[in-house]
Chain A
Amino acid sequence: MAAKYELKNLLGIVDHNENLSIIERDSRSLGYALGLNMLKILIERGEFVWLVLFEPLSVLRTNLKTVGLRLEDLLQRGNFYIFDIYGSVAKIKRNLPHIYQVKGDITGISFVAKYMEVASSALSETLKNLGVEEIERIWTLGFLDSSVGRLFDNPVEIYKRMWLLKYSPRIRPPIKDIRSIIIYNSAEFPKLESFIYEISDYVLESFVVGEDELKHLVVVSKSKKPGLENLVLEYLFDGGENVD
């Protein structure tokens, strides 16, 4: 029996520096939309969000619309930034504010070093613009982390090393609390799943059940906090916000 739960409560389980993954086990389950709904809640709360984009910007724009968000408006808010991995690799210039890219030769592992550099200086610049020495908390959101598999020759290693931005004391920006949401489609890049489970404090798997009447379900398949493990929730997309 699926339980009643609010999406904002699900988001609330993520604590200081913790990571939550949404694994889209079945494409029909639209797990990424669940992640974008979480983004919407974060933006409305005024949280600082750093989106790591592994998909074309147009794909993000289309899907933001489905949760009632407009890309151009988001980028004007001052609390939403994009690190454009896809555009960096495809060498597509953007004429929008608050989108960062890595320039030059970014093949192989040299990409990671440049990514760290650009991300760190982008965050420092943000602190300067805001006139503060530190930001209490930021959220990172990958859209979609599994798409990294299409961008590099050695995507597993590159993706793993990208996490040094969060965990290496040498590189880490002056932000005490970085909470991360990972969105991952298991069929698209199965080799990464082991790491996704490893890095996550919480994993939500989205899937679909039923034959005549299909239901979107999500199960908490890993939880650092006891009590949430194996919780099954049904979610509805109409209205966007409530998991019911």
Chain B
Amino acid sequence: MLTNLGIPQLDKIIGDIEKGSLIALIERDPRSLGSLISLLVTKRKLEEGHLVALLNKSLPLPVLLNRLESVGIDVDRYLESGHLAILDVFDSYYEVKYDIPGVFYVKGGIQEGAYLQKSVKEILNIKKEWMRRGLIGENTELWGINYKLSDYLDIFSEYGLIKIIETTSEIRFVHEAYTKYPKGTNIWIFSGNNQTIINLLYRRADYVIETRSILTEEGIKRELYLIKMPKMGRIKRFTYQIKGNEFRII
């Protein structure tokens, strides 16, 4: 069963993706706008009628909602319809809760050791809700956007994050959220240059995409690298622009 990212110029270079794949999107520097690409994928998938679970590690919820709106996502509509579900890890950490439909929280606070089990329980709740509302059809794609893994480092130690990454890939084989319900295609966004974490992502991901930027007298040059794919080959490098909310290879 195949899918794609829904961004024509990216699909052209990456090709079809097997459903259930793990895609590591590594934004080497924020100016490359790599994480913005994941929001554009979110937008496209929602527009196509698919289901997206966004795991928010980065922003206070009202700020996140504003940022989703800024890329043209009709947030209220998709949260109301259930197509967009947000697991609000950021606010769960501070035990802040917003009463907004479609927003889930990790219950009982976030501690380094117990976090993963608790968050997978909420993934299960999201999938149960999708099933209850009859949203999972034969051709419906499930997407998990992990936004952004690097921000765990603000609340957990590096060791804690390593454990989370290691256990997450194992848990997908055994937990009810993944055995009883369909597995989603996941994008894990990591911003920065922590090579220890990046190494772990490289080994676990089916696809590794890196974005970088260079500042020149003529402007910003942005480069996207396709480094790992199921069919291995040479590393491919592309120059791209994001104009407004449109991704273009140049």
Contact = CB atoms under 8 A, between A and B. Distances in A.
Interface of A: 17, 25, 109, 154, 156-157, 160-161, 163-164, 167-169, 193-199, 201, 203, 205, 207, 209, 217, 219, 221-227, 229-232
Interface residues of B, number: 34
B63 interface: yes
Contacts of A157: 154
Nearest to B218: A232
Interface in B185-220: 191-192, 213, 215, 217-220
A226 B58 contact: no
Nearest to A163: B63
A167 B154 contact: no
A199 B217 contact: no
A213 to B, nearest CB: 13
B244 A223 contact: yes
24 contacts: A109-B94, A154-B154, A160-B60, A164-B60, A167-B60, A167-B62, A193-B30, A194-B30, A194-B35, A194-B148, A194-B150, A194-B151, A194-B191, A196-B30, A198-B35, A198-B59, A203-B31, A205-B220, A221-B220, A227-B243, A229-B241, A229-B242, A229-B243, A229-B244
Interface string B8-24: 00000000000000000
B59 A160 contact: yes
Contacts of A154: 154
A226 B243 contact: yes
Contacts of A226: 243-244, 246
Contact of A164 (B62, B213, B217, B241): B62
A226 B33 CA distance: 15
